[in-house]
Chain A
Amino acid sequence: MMLSVENLSVRFATDGGTVHAVDDVSFELAAGEILAIVGESGSGKSVTAQTVLGLTRAPNTTITGAVRFDGQDLTQLNDRQLRDIRGERIAMIFQDPMTSLNPVYRVGAQIAEMIRAHRDVSKGEARDRAVELLASVGIPNPERRVRSYPHEFSGGMRQRVMIAMALALDPDVLIADEPTTALDVTVQAQILRLLEKLNAERGLAVVMITHDLGVVAEVADRVAVMYAGQIVEDATLESLFYDPKHPYTWGLLGSLARLDQPRPVRLAQIAGQPPSLIAPPSGCRFAPRCPHAFEKCAEPPPLHDGDRCWLDLEQKRRLRDVDGRIGLRRAVAT
C-alpha cells in the first residue's frame, strides 16, 4: 500500500465548541491507483486530504490516528521532516487555481521555487525544467508562457500549471482537492484526461476529492464516500455504481439526472440537512435523514465490509430499488 490512513480524526477547537471535522477515517491507496473521495460540502473530505500533508496543523487542531506513507507516520513528523515529503513524494493541487497561485510572481518562478527548495540546482536549470513541465501538461509556447503571470492564463490552463508544478519532482502521490470544480465542463474533461494520462504513463497514484459523481465515474478506480466527517462507503467503482450499500450513496445516485430514463417531475433530493459537526448525532450520523432508520441505528455503525450501515445485505439490495432505479425512498411524513 502506498498510502494508508488509519483511524484519522481531526478536531478543531473553536469558541462555539469542538468541531469534529474528521471522525475515525480510514482508507488505503495502492500504487498507481486513483481513489476518489466523494462527499458534499462540510463532509470533511478536504480536511482529510489536507491533513495528510499536515496542512491543517494549528494551535487549536487535534489530530489523532495515523497516516502511513513509506514506512513513516506523517502525523508524527515535525515540520522540517514533512517538508521533505511535501512536493517531493506527495504533491497536492487545489480547487481554485486563480487563488492558489501567487499573483505577483511569474509562473515559471513559482515552479522553479519549488524545484530549488528540494534540489540543489541553479536558477537556469530550474527554469528549463519549468519549461519542460509546462510542455508536458500541454501548455503551448512554454518558453514564452513560463514568464507569464497567473492571471494571464485561462482557468483550465492555470490548473494545468498547478499540475505541472505538482509534478516537478516526480512525486508518487498526487492529492487533487476538487481540481475541476471551478472549471467549465469542457475544460473539466481535459483536466481529467490529463490526470488519467499521468496516472497511466507514470503510475502516479491519485487521491481525487470531489463532490461530483460524474467525475468519479470518469477516472476513479476506487471510491470512498464521506458524510459528516466519516467514511460511509468504500468500494470499487463498479461496486459503487451497481451495488451500493449505504443509503446516503443511494440518495446521491438517485439524485442524478439521467438521460436514459424518462424525465422525473422533480429531481430527487435527500430530505434534511447534514448534522452539525460540533454536536454530531451519537448513533448513525445519517439516521436523521434516512427513511430506513430503525432502532439499531441509535448505535454508531462500524465501517464493515465497505459500508457503515446496520441493514443487512439482502435488505439493502431490496430497499435501494425505487421504481426500477437506485435511489433513496422519500421518508414518509410523520
Chain B
Amino acid sequence: MARFIVRRTLGMIAVLFAISVIVFLIFNVIPNSDPAARIAGKNANPALIARVTTDLGLDQPLPVQYLTMMKQIFTGELTSYASSQNVVEQIWKGLPATFSLCVGAAVLWMTLAVVFGYLSAVHAGKFTDRALTVLSLVGISMPVFWLAAILLYYLSFKAQLFPTSSYVPLTKDPANWAYHLILPWITLAVLFVGFYSRVLRSNMLDVMNEDYVRTARAKGLGERQIRIKHVLRNSMIPVITLFGLDFGAVVGGGAILTETVFNLNGVGLYAGQAIGSLDLPPLIGVTMFGAFFIVLFNTIVDVLYAFLDPRIRLGTAAPA
C-alpha cells in the first residue's frame, strides 16, 4: 500500500511539472507580441520597454526564465508584472473564500444528489422519478454564470432576499458569512446535483439487478435495509470517486465564474482579473494551484477507491 502511494505521488509530481512547463510555454511562446511592451502600456517608449525587459528578466533565455519563475513560486516571491503584488500571497488570501464556496456547495450538492438519486431510483419510472430527471437535466444544461446572474437579479436585486455584496469572512461573522454564500452555493450546486443524482440513480438501478441484492432479499432482509446497506452502499463508490475529481476541479478553477459574478474574493476572482491584463505570474500561479489540487484529488480518489472497494485493495486472494 505504501508503495502504491509513493508511486502515485511521484506520478503527481511528474504531471505537475509537465503542467508548469506547458503553462509557461503557452504564455511565453504563443503570443506574438512582446510581453514587456504589453506591460509597459500603450504609451511606452522603447527605453521604458527596455527597462521593463531587464527588470523583469524578460531578456533571459526561456529555460532560465522558467527556472526563475518556478523558484519564485516555491519561495513565495512570485510577483505580478502588472501590479507588483505577490502572487502567492494573493492566492493565499483568496483561499478562505474559495474554500468556503466550494466546501459549502459540495456539502449541499452531495446531500441533495444522494436524496434525489435515491428517490429517483426507488421510484423509477414513476412521476417522482420523471420530475426529478427533468429537473436534473435542466440543471446540467444551465451555464453557471448565467444562473448566477439570474439568481442575483431576481433574488438579490428584485426580491431583496439576499445580499449582493461580497464575501464576509467566517471568523468575522458566521451568520453573515453563510448568508452571503447561500446564492453562490446554490449556483455552484445546481449543476452538480443534476449530474450526480443521475449517476447515482443509474448506479442504483444497475445494482438493484445484481445477484447479491437478490441474495439479501432471500435472506429475509427488509426492503429499506436492502436499499441502504446493499444498494446505496455499493452505488456510492463510483459516485464518491467522481466527487473527489470534481471537487478538485472546482477548487482548481471551476469556481472562477461563480466568484466573478458574486464578487467573492477567492482564487477564482483573482484569476479572472489576471486574465484581462494577460498578467503571466498570477495566471501561472493560479494554474499551478488549480492543477495541484486536481492532481492531488485524483491521487486521493485512487487511494480512496482501494479502501472503498475491497476487490481493488492491494491484498492477494487467499488460496482455498
In Å, the complex CA distance between A91 and B218 comes to: 7
In Å, the complex CA distance between A149 and B319 comes to: 13
Report chain A residues within 8 Å CB of B225.
117
Q: Cβ of B221 < 8 Å from any Cβ of A?
A: yes
Of the candidates A88, A104, A154, the one whose C-beta lies within 8 Å of that of B234 is A104
A102-B234, A153-B318, A153-B320 known; A92 vs B218 contact (CB < 8 Å): yes
* A104 close to B221 (CB less than 8 A): no
A148-B318, A151-B317, A154-B320 known; A102 vs B212 contact (CB < 8 Å): yes
> Which residues in chain B, 90-117, are within 8 Å of chain A measured between CB atoms?
none
Report chain A residues within 8 Å CB of B320.
153-154, 156-157
Report chain B residues within 8 Å CB of A92.
218
CB distance from B232 to the nearest CB of A (A): 12
In Å, the complex CA distance between A92 and B308 comes to: 28
Report chain A residues within 8 Å CB of B218.
53, 55, 86-87, 91-92, 94
Interface string of B146-187 (1 = CB under 8 A from A): 000000000000000000000000000000000000000000
> Which residues in chain B, 214-234, are within 8 Å of chain A measured between CB atoms?
214-223, 225, 229-230, 233-234
Report chain B residues within 8 Å CB of A2.
none
* A94 close to B221 (CB less than 8 A): no
Report chain A residues within 8 Å CB of B217.
55, 86
Report chain A residues within 8 Å CB of B46.
none
Among the 9-residue stretches A26-34, A77-85, A248-256, A269-277, the one with 4 or more Cβ atoms under 8 Å from chain B is: A77-85
Report chain A residues within 8 Å CB of B229.
113
In Å, the complex CA distance between A100 and B320 comes to: 18
In Å, the complex CA distance between A149 and B215 comes to: 16
> Which residues in chain A, 44-103, are within 8 Å of chain B measured between CB atoms?
50, 53, 55, 79, 82-88, 91-92, 94, 96, 99-103
Report chain B residues within 8 Å CB of A55.
214, 217-218
Across the interface, name the chain B residue whose C-beta is closest to A89.
B220
Q: With contacts defined as CB atoms under 8 Å apart, how many contacts are there between chain A and chain B in the complex?
A: 84
Q: Cβ of A114 < 8 Å from any Cβ of B?
A: yes
* B310 close to A85 (CB less than 8 A): no
Of the candidates B212, B219, B222, B311, the one whose C-beta lies within 8 Å of that of A151 is B311
Q: Cβ of B89 < 8 Å from any Cβ of A?
A: no
Size bin of chain B's contact surface: 20 to 34
Q: Cβ of B59 < 8 Å from any Cβ of A?
A: no
Of the candidates B212, B215, B222, the one whose C-beta lies within 8 Å of that of A117 is B222
Q: Cβ of A131 < 8 Å from any Cβ of B?
A: no
* B220 close to A86 (CB less than 8 A): yes
Q: Cβ of B210 < 8 Å from any Cβ of A?
A: yes
> Which residues in chain A, 268-320, are within 8 Å of chain B measured between CB atoms?
none
CB distance from A121 to the nearest CB of B (A): 15
Report chain A residues within 8 Å CB of B61.
none
In Å, the complex CA distance between A181 and B138 comes to: 47
In Å, the complex CA distance between A233 and B233 comes to: 44
Interface string of A100-114 (1 = CB under 8 A from B): 111110000000011
> Which residues in chain A, 314-332, are within 8 Å of chain B measured between CB atoms?
none
* A154 close to B319 (CB less than 8 A): yes
A: number of interface residues (CB 8 Å): 36
Q: Cβ of B309 < 8 Å from any Cβ of A?
A: yes
Q: Cβ of A118 < 8 Å from any Cβ of B?
A: yes
CB distance from B113 to the nearest CB of A (A): 20
Of the candidates A91, A101, A113, A153, the one whose C-beta lies within 8 Å of that of B221 is A113
CB distance from B229 to the nearest CB of A (A): 8
Q: Cβ of A165 < 8 Å from any Cβ of B?
A: yes
In Å, the complex CA distance between A86 and B222 comes to: 11
> Which residues in chain B, 279-307, are within 8 Å of chain A measured between CB atoms?
none
In Å, the complex CA distance between A86 and B311 comes to: 29
CB distance from A174 to the nearest CB of B (A): 11
Q: Cβ of A125 < 8 Å from any Cβ of B?
A: no
Q: Cβ of A152 < 8 Å from any Cβ of B?
A: yes
Across the interface, name the chain A residue whose C-beta is closest to B309.
A104
Of the candidates B230, B237, B309, B317, the one whose C-beta lies within 8 Å of that of A152 is B317
* B310 close to A104 (CB less than 8 A): yes
Q: Cβ of B55 < 8 Å from any Cβ of A?
A: no
Report chain B residues within 8 Å CB of A82.
220
In Å, the complex CA distance between A148 and B319 comes to: 12
* Most-contacted residue by chain A among B214, B219, B310 (CB, 10 A): B219
In Å, the complex CA distance between A162 and B223 comes to: 21
Q: Cβ of B315 < 8 Å from any Cβ of A?
A: yes
* A151 close to B211 (CB less than 8 A): no
* Most-contacted residue by chain A among B220, B308, B310, B320 (CB, 10 A): B220
Of the candidates A87, A102, A145, A162, the one whose C-beta lies within 8 Å of that of B220 is A87
In Å, the complex CA distance between A300 and B135 comes to: 53
A/B interface sample: 29 pairs, CB < 8 A? A53-B218, A55-B217, A79-B223, A83-B220, A83-B221, A83-B222, A88-B220, A92-B218, A94-B215, A94-B218, A99-B211, A100-B215, A102-B212, A102-B230, A102-B234, A103-B234, A103-B311, A104-B310, A113-B221, A113-B229, A149-B311, A151-B311, A152-B317, A152-B318, A153-B318, A153-B320, A156-B320, A157-B320, A165-B219
Q: A50-B214, A83-B220 are in contact. List 8 more A-B contacts (CB 8 A).
A: A86-B218, A91-B218, A102-B215, A102-B234, A104-B234, A104-B237, A148-B318, A151-B317
